[in-house]
Structure 1
Amino acid sequence: MAALDTQVIVVGAGPVGLMLAGELRLGGAEVVVLEARTSPTTESRASTLHARTMEILDSRGLLEELGTPPREPRGHFGGIPLDLTLDSSHPGQWKVPQHRTEELLGEWARSLGADVRRGHEVRGLSVLDDRVEVESVTGDGTTVTLSALCVVGCDGENSTVRRLAGAAFPGRDATRELLRADVAGLDIPNRRFERLEKGLAIAARRDDGVTRVMVHEFGRPAGTRTGDPDFAEVAAVWERVTGEDISGGTPLWVNSFGDADRQATAYRDGRVLLAGDAAHQQMPIGGQALNLGLQDAVNLGWKLAIQVRRLGSEGLLDSYHAERHAVGARVRSNIQAQALLLLGGPEVEAVRSVLAELIAQEPVRAHLAGMISGLDVRYDVGTGGHPLLGARLPHTPLLRTDGSATTAAALLRTGRGLLLDLSGEQDAEAPLHRAAAGREDRVTVLSARLAGGADDHPLAGAGAVLVRPDGHLVWTGRTTDGLDAALYRWFGLTGPAAPLTNPAASAAAQGGNTMGRLNGKTALVTGSSRGMGRATAVRLAREGALVAVHYTSNKEAAAETVAAIETEGGRAFTVRAELGVPGDVHELFLGLEAGLKERTGTTDLDILVNNAGEMGGVSVDDTTPEKFDRLVAVNAKAPFFLIRRALKNMPDGGRIINISSGLTHFANPEEIAYAMTKGAVEQLALHFAKLLGPRNITVNSVAPGITRNGNPVFDIPEAVEQMAQLSAFNRVGEPEDVADVVTFLATDDARWVTGAFLDASGGTLLG
């Protein structure tokens, strides 16, 4: 394969794109940033950095360059005053014009070696098996094509990358808007979310004499804009709402923003990723949009750097979508509530009054402040009992073994993770060094102790901790139990990175395509605690899917399936329900939706594998009505109603795979009743496929033959030899043989296959 031009192409040199470029360079990845603008912005669309963003900038050593911006402890929720002060090294909110943030991050990214190319308007995107190619046009009309392992769209709410990739961006357009302008030469009183009879007015005069005005006229729809409003429109609305004439001022910048609300279905689709406003569109109330995007970039950067260096564990990059999509959905929700409170007319006054009373209660204030500032974000990082697991590491003063002072934030400035022994004894580092060996370029190992007031610190007594480069705690322990798995999951393989010019060979060396075909997808596999179900769950997770592992009674076996998936870097959770009894589907989906919502922020289910079944194993004479009814209930009735219920959660383009049996085409008098139920399963595929074709949902049947399933008969060599003779390959099937066929049907590779019966019996049905 020809050498790539770089490893990652970032489209968009706004704050999010530049933050991502710097993070990628810290992680050792090569990056080119393409930006259509020929020069940095002079506008200041967003002027607020929240506490969590300030902590992140501190962990990259950028605050000294930023200086000492004005700090404002008071923010708002929908225009209702809200104290944002929480336990943080930088509580409250900080006023930094967006152009200054962009300038700071641009200098930082370039100093780290990021290649920032301005005047490149992206026009084309091709996603190939082993790379992406991005075509841009320069100001003089020259067409430039660059190749990389992947591309990240950080190019705003009207993202070209998102459009070219055909990424779904569901939601709604704006129905109301806020006009705003920076105006020189005004002498009007400051207003902080002043609600007047006809609308909302905001005015804030800066130290340089420029006044930012924002205004909304109650009942005035957003309409359809193709560009920014002119100042005359802003002045006219301002006068109608306030009675003041500002038309004599000098407008420096004019724009508007509405309450549009959209979010990409997937933040990652193979080699194409989205971050910032390209991934989510929301009203920029209180500066949350910019802060959300910057935090997207910091979550993604180190993961993507490990991945493109061909060192990542399977599932590492998918955790970006899983973690940030859920955060984005939560932020959108709180912004929708704020937009209603802010732009609603007299009809919302009663709600505003009640909420103002609630905010006066400390738990409510702290909850809302944590949500707006981003300080309360917690990710699902696996099992463990420490209350900070998954949360961001709070401000942590430390004393090294040599007595010098530092902080956890300072130790993260290399962009590497931190494996920290808190005993302060240098000898205690040895087991940690051994565990992290081969990942020194991604993890710093250090022994230190908590400084001053250690008994009150949340990490007191934690023993040792593992912190990701983005500052989130992913493992704690007084021994190294579980550390190897955590290091593999978050920091990947040991050893040096593969060369840039041969990504295909590196992916093969890791045991497959680390950019899985099911990234961002969710799957339910019934009966997946053992056998073919377990193998299918593991295989789907290996391709990038988040898998719900269903079981009836063997909780330990289901947990082992999840553990096997997580050991490989995948994601899974268990869900319990007995099938074939009243209320079975309802119980299953209660657990399924709760698990999906917690991990993805939605209840979308992309893949359903109806694998659970009950064997007959009795002759015709011994088949009682009760046994027959049980076989029908589990093998035929349950899959029918599971499909019907799943369709409420399944987006267009979903996949349904039913596990049938070779006995529907191969006579066995001992299994007549069982074979009848499996014949019914094949009819489900045939008729549902016709019904669901308009939604591009495929429905297929897979028929295994004699497959090793844990039955004691497979421990008898003579029996196995006899069974093997029925196969064209002279062996019995392994669960993985069937799992690979199911996985194929779950991917886009099988988009043209529906209503089909796939013989996965190893040729047993050939006769």
Structure 2
Amino acid sequence: MSTRFDTALDTDVVVVGAGPVGLLLAFELRTGGARVTVLEQLAEPTTESRASTLHARTMELLAERGLLEELGPPAPGGPGHFGGIPLDLTAADPGHPYAGQWKVPQTRVEAVLRRRAGALGAETRRGHRVTGLADRGSHVEVEAEGPGGTPVRLRCAYVVGCDGERSTVRRLAGFDFPGTEATRELLRADVTGIEVPGRRFERLPAGMAVAARLPSGVTRIMVHEYGRAPVRRTGAPDFAEVVDAWRRVTGEDVSGGTPVWVNAFGDARRQVTRYRQGRVLLAGDAAHVQMPVGGQALNLGLQDAADLGWKLAAQFGDRPDEALLDSYHATRHPVGRRVLANIGAQARLLLGGPEVEPLRAVLGELMEKPPVRRHLAAMISGLDTPRSDRPAPAPAPGNHTTTRRRNTMERLTGRTALVTGSSRGIGRAIALRLAREGALVAVHCSTAREAADEVVASIEKDGGRAFAVQAELGVPGDVHELFLQLEEGLKERTGGTGLDILVNNAGVMGGVAPEEVTPEQFDRLYAVNARAPFFIVQRALKNMSSGGRIINISSGLTRFANPQEIAYAMTKGAVDQLTLHYAKHLGPRGITVNSVGPGITNNGTPVFDIPEAVEQMAALSVFNRVGEPQDIADVVAFLAGDDARWITGSYLDASGGTLLGG
């Protein structure tokens, strides 16, 4: 294996944190051939199993890496829930080999990952507390205190913080970490020597209580008092605090028990704005902090590591690819944002007092409907999230094998899209295709609201997510009105206003002989086809983060003469220039900008009902047919995904060979 880095480096990658996320990342990096040093401040592995639930997507990833056999037969985790309302997670995909949820203690996961990463050559240094971090551009210098306060310095190519919600790496590297502080708190304790009734999210007048006897004989109790704000502490709560809260909520005395582990969890919600900052990256709770509802936090972190590992390891091979590494943020940040939003909703349902009972009742009724159950179960199970493109190793022998599952529903899950002019024609096909691949799509129309609502209904019928926005383009205030509705719809559904994909499709044609074009017609064409896309892009940049996609629908008429459409073709030439120059301007932000040039495409107008006319138009294509909206939608979907990460500033001829000549 070759490397483009200085051979004087002590290691290729320093991973900070030897929890499940850091250890899976170390395993992935070593699988890809990168040298790895893991720094962990704890002198010994923890004996606390804070998390024990693995979901279907995570089980699938572990199986592909041959790790499930060593974990031992996982125990079925029983039914899941959404905010304390029962939800059978097998509804996500009853045919999936790991449908549902599975119970594997975190200590067991860590032990297996530690052993497997070590067997591949990953070095773990325990008792090492990171104290300094400096990204020098060509490498990173890490300072730490080893056992007994011994100073340690390491030079590496990259550092990854997997060091939890109080991440030292995140703080030292200066990552922006916006979000909200906790307003509610759940106390949790593993206790021996007590006998209490089993409870599953039991809502009592003073609060909510959970009690479950674990296979080890320990009883796990969790309690929340309605309306009680989190207590400011420097560490874990005292067991006496849990005892008092349990008594106030349930009326039971558990003071005679012996605590094995005590902790408190708030509903804080934070996420870094970028998962990569130069040569420093974050994964797991270092990148996002959320309440651990239903085990999603651990699974989200493990899936971060699975996506990052092979992409980072590839930087030390024969063909390092910075764009591939940037795609880690582009893939995982939207997923994290969506998970935090659903956890926020669940925290409100779970920890809210009597005021949320009407909402719980309505949601309970909705969850009786199969599409709702399927949607929520897929979201929690991770089966609607993008998959890593890393070639899968052969699964370990035994019963826990699975085939690699890739389908179009995975590529854009967790991402948001705006498609202008998507109530009909090419725009409609684009909206349907992006939604089918998992994106939440804003379906825009200028006037035909019923048609836009029909597109939304069609998307939702197929299990997708969409909402309609209406704003006439080419008039004063058009972009402002469009984004007011867009941001309202995004915030309602995702908890934020982030936009990942913008498709400028809306346009009007002229169809007037050049001698007959009036100034008013000319100005209208430019207002809708050129001015509106420019200012939509300008405004969208406030919502679009690194890795975004901008796709402008141009026309083959910028390269093929048709005198009846001179003015129209001029506007589309302006769109091509918008693409070219914005691509240069936005490259440093990792945002791609491209044009798609359709040829003669069936837009549903009466001329396409005339066989003779269709035959003449079809003859212009080397394939002897006219284009269909789906043909263009497929090209747009490609440009919207990660596979097109290295394409920007391009004009993609989607004319079916019309421009090749007779």
CA distance 1:69–1:625, change in 2 (3 Å)? closer
Q: Which residue of 1 aligns with 2:394?
A: 411
Q: Which residue of 1 aligns with 2:46?
A: 41
CA distance 1:330–1:643, change in 2 (3 Å)? closer
CA distance 1:11–1:343, change in 2 (3 Å)? same
What does residue range 131-530 of structure 1 map to in structure 2 within 5 Å? 131-378=139-386, 411=394, 472=406
Greater length-normalized contact order (CA 8 Å, ≥ 6 residues apart): 2
Q: Deviations over 1:520-553 (max 9, x none)?
A: xx9x9xxxxxxxxxxxxxxxxxxxxxxxxxxxxx
Partner residue of 2:137 out of 125, 129, 146: 129
Partners of 2:532 and 2:579 lie apart in 1 by 24
The total of aligned residue pairs comes to: 494
Q: Deviations over 1:209-257 (max 9, x none)?
A: 2111110111111132221100001000100111111111111111110
What does residue range 81-100 of structure 1 map to in structure 2 within 5 Å? 81-85=86-90, 86-100=94-108
Partners of 1:139 and 1:305 lie apart in 2 by 29
Q: For structure 1, list consecutive stretches of 5 or more residues without a partner in the other structure.
A: 382-389, 393-407, 415-456, 460-466, 477-485, 487-521, 525-576, 609-623, 653-708, 713-733, 748-767
Q: Is the 8 A contact 1:58 1:410 kept in 2?
A: no
Partners of 1:582 and 1:262 lie apart in 2 by 37
Partners of 2:247 and 2:485 lie apart in 1 by 55
What does residue range 653-664 of structure 1 map to in structure 2 within 5 Å? none
CA distance 1:184–1:112, change in 2 (3 Å)? same
CA distance 1:176–1:595, change in 2 (3 Å)? closer
Q: Which residue of 1 aligns with 2:543?
A: 649
TM superposition shift of 1:196: 0.8
Partners of 1:81 and 1:736 lie apart in 2 by 49
Instruction: Give yes or no for the alignment of 1:74 onto 2:79.
Output: yes
TM superposition shift of 1:271: 1.3
Partners of 1:207 and 1:589 lie apart in 2 by 53
Q: Is the 8 A contact 1:605 1:651 kept in 2?
A: yes
Instruction: Give yes or no for the alignment of 1:585 onto 2:479.
Output: yes
Partners of 1:409 and 1:649 lie apart in 2 by 35
Q: Deviations over 1:359-384 (max 9, x none)?
A: 232222222111111122246x9xxx
CA distance 1:601–1:3, change in 2 (3 Å)? farther
Q: Deviations over 1:272-292 (max 9, x none)?
A: 111100111110011110011
Partners of 1:631 and 1:191 lie apart in 2 by 65
Query: Structure 1: which amino acid aligns with 2:479?
Result: V
Q: Is the 8 A contact 2:208 2:225 kept in 1?
A: yes
TM superposition shift of 1:638: 6.7
Partners of 1:186 and 1:117 lie apart in 2 by 39
Partners of 1:596 and 1:234 lie apart in 2 by 39
Query: Structure 2: which amino acid aligns with 1:35?
Result: E
Question: What RMSD over aligned residues (CA atoms) do the two structures have, in Å?
Answer: 4.8
TM superposition shift of 1:73: 3.2
TM superposition shift of 1:92: 1.7
Structure whose alpha-carbon radius of gyration is higher: 1
SS of the counterpart of 2:236? coil
Partners of 2:216 and 2:233 lie apart in 1 by 31
CA distance 1:116–1:357, change in 2 (3 Å)? same
Aligned-pair identity (%): 64
Query: Structure 2: which amino acid aligns with 1:649?
Result: N
Q: Which residue of 2 aligns with 1:667?
A: none
Instruction: Give yes or no for the alignment of 1:21 onto 2:26.
Output: yes
Query: Structure 1: which amino acid aligns with 2:54?
Result: L
Partners of 1:194 and 1:114 lie apart in 2 by 45
SS of the counterpart of 2:148? coil
Partners of 1:45 and 1:72 lie apart in 2 by 15
CA distance 1:74–1:710, change in 2 (3 Å)? closer
Partners of 1:70 and 1:745 lie apart in 2 by 47
Q: Deviations over 1:542-599 (max 9, x none)?
A: xxxxxxxxxxxxxxxxxxxxxxxxxxxxxxxxxxx998655663698699989999xx
Partners of 2:195 and 2:8 lie apart in 1 by 61
Partners of 1:24 and 1:181 lie apart in 2 by 35
Q: Is the 8 A contact 1:325 1:601 kept in 2?
A: no
CA distance 1:311–1:253, change in 2 (3 Å)? same
SS of the counterpart of 2:312? helix
Partners of 1:737 and 1:205 lie apart in 2 by 63
Partners of 1:267 and 1:601 lie apart in 2 by 19
Partners of 2:202 and 2:409 lie apart in 1 by 47
SS of the counterpart of 2:261? strand
TM superposition shift of 1:52: 1.7
Q: Is the 8 A contact 1:190 1:203 kept in 2?
A: yes
Partner residue of 1:32 out of 28, 34, 37: 37
Query: Structure 2: which amino acid aligns with 1:349?
Result: E
CA distance 1:212–1:601, change in 2 (3 Å)? closer
TM superposition shift of 1:308: 3.1
Q: Is the 8 A contact 2:186 2:264 kept in 1?
A: yes
Q: Is the 8 A contact 1:149 1:308 kept in 2?
A: no
SS of the counterpart of 1:179? strand
Query: Structure 2: which amino acid aligns with 1:199?
Result: G
Query: Structure 1: which amino acid aligns with 2:394?
Result: L
What does residue range 514-663 of structure 1 map to in structure 2 within 5 Å? 585=479, 603-604=497-498, 645=539, 649=543
Q: Which residue of 2 aligns with 1:54?
A: 59
Instruction: Give yes or no for the alignment of 1:64 onto 2:66.
Output: no
Partners of 1:135 and 1:195 lie apart in 2 by 49
Query: Structure 1: which amino acid aligns with 2:76?
Result: R
Q: Is the 8 A contact 2:66 2:394 kept in 1?
A: no
Q: Which residue of 1 aligns with 2:126?
A: 118
Query: Structure 1: which amino acid aligns with 2:242?
Result: V
Q: TM-score, normalised by structure 2?
A: 0.64
Instruction: Give yes or no for the alignment of 1:4 onto 2:15.
Output: no
Partners of 1:356 and 1:741 lie apart in 2 by 50
CA distance 1:366–1:155, change in 2 (3 Å)? same
Q: Which residue of 2 aligns with 1:688?
A: none
Q: Is the 8 A contact 2:267 2:347 kept in 1?
A: yes
Partners of 1:593 and 1:606 lie apart in 2 by 13
Q: Is the 8 A contact 2:137 2:279 kept in 1?
A: no
